[in-house]
Amino acid sequence: MDIRIHSTFLPQDDPDAALAFYRDVLGFEVRGDVGHDGLRWITVGPAGQPGTSIVLHPPAAGPGITEEERRTVAEMMAKGTYAGINLAARDLDGVFDRLQAGGAEVVQEPTEQPYGVRDCAFRDPAGNLVRVQQLR
């Protein structure tokens, strides 16, 4: 069986700030930028990895979501508890320096975790937790 991860979704409540973070700070390629009814879905991904993407989407934009659920999503995003993603890089310190220089909110500096992974963590402009692990 040949199953791959094609894309994952992260909410964004400011498309321009999300684009600046993922494209300009992380260096991801923009693969799509689609607007509909005043909302934007932006697809980004790492250069050289065309089969893996992140879709930055408007939170709670789907049909059937109640106003109460939209408020809950907005509250969770504001606290940084709604969504996250794990990335990996060979040069963790270089990525950390680039993110820090780009103004990303640092959650954790590069740290050797007790479970055997060296990583760091940031929040993107929407509050999503972005962890970056050291590739060995």
The sheet that has 7-11: what strands, in order across it? 7-11, 53-57, 39-45, 29-36
The reply to whether the predicted model has a pTM over 0.85 is: yes
Q: What are the CA-CA distances from residue 52 to residues 4, 6, 70 (Å)? A: 9, 5, 28
Assess if CATH 3.40.50.1100 describes domain 7-134.
no
Region 117-126 average pLDDT: 96
Indicate the residue type of 92.
L
Tell me what pLDDT residue 37 has.
Answer: 87
d(CA 100, CA 56): 21
